[in-house]
Amino acid sequence: MHISLSLLQISSFELNLAEGFGINTNIFETNIINLAAVLAVVISFVGKNLTALLEDRKKTILNNLQEASQRAAEAQERLNQAKSQLELAKKKAQQIREEGVLRATQEVNNCVSQHEERLSKLEEFKQETVQFYQQKAFKQAYIYVISRIMSRVKERLNKGLDSTYHVVVNNFYVSRFTEYNP
């Protein structure tokens, strides 16, 4: 900056020596010289402050970028954790579904086996009941037949034995006696 100022001063000094001391009436050259002088003053006084301000702004932007990058990394880490938790939850849900299906199947099988067991016990009870009532009916029929036979035997005994019946009874006892082996 100082170099450009000194060049302007040298060129204006040479200009003054060549023409002599006087006023430069060329407005364009005067404006350029004035503008260069103002710029040189502004840059020399404000340049350091502007440079410091720009440097501070640069640091602020870099800090903001680092913080944004750090937040992005943290957000990415949380996203990855959330994804892993989601996958874990999906696996757990699938495991729970499978356990539910397994338990439901086991419960259905258990109910079916209990039902079959009850049916078999009911069938046994039915058979025992039928057998009991058959035995009861046979016993009643047996008692009825025996009582009828006994009553007829008593009747015959009370009436007396006729000759044909007497022969049948004697033949019966003779056949039994011949079959007897001591």
Instruction: Reply yes or no on whether the pLDDT at 25 is more than 80.
Output: no
Dmax over Cα atoms in the chain, in whole Å? 198
Instruction: Reply yes or no on whether the pLDDT at 182 is more than 80.
Output: no
Q: What is the pLDDT of residue 151?
A: 87
**Count of domains in the chain?**
1
Percent pLDDT > 90 in the chain is 47
Q: What angle do CA 135, 140, 142 make, to 5 degrees?
A: 90
Q: What is the pTM of this model?
A: 0.40
Mean pLDDT of 75-102: 96
Q: Which domain holds residue 61?
A: 2-179
Q: What is the pLDDT of residue 21?
A: 59
160 phi-psi bin (left φ>0, alpha ψ -120 to 50, beta other): left
Q: How many CA atoms lie less than 13 Å away from 85 in the CB half-sphere?
A: 6
Rounded mean pLDDT of the chain?
84
Mean pLDDT of 117-124: 94
Instruction: Reply yes or no on whether the pLDDT at 70 is more than 50.
Output: yes
2-24 burial, b at 16+ Cβ within 10 Å, e below that, comes to eeebeebeeeeeeeeeeeeeeee
Contacts (Cβ under 8 Å, ≥6 apart) of 169:
161
Asked whether 128 and 119 are in contact (CB, 8 A), the reply is no
Mean pLDDT of 28-54: 83
Q: Tell me the pLDDT band of 6, cut-offs 50, 70 and 90.
A: very low
Q: What is the pLDDT of residue 168?
A: 83
Which residue, chain included where needed, has tokens 């086996």?
A: 113
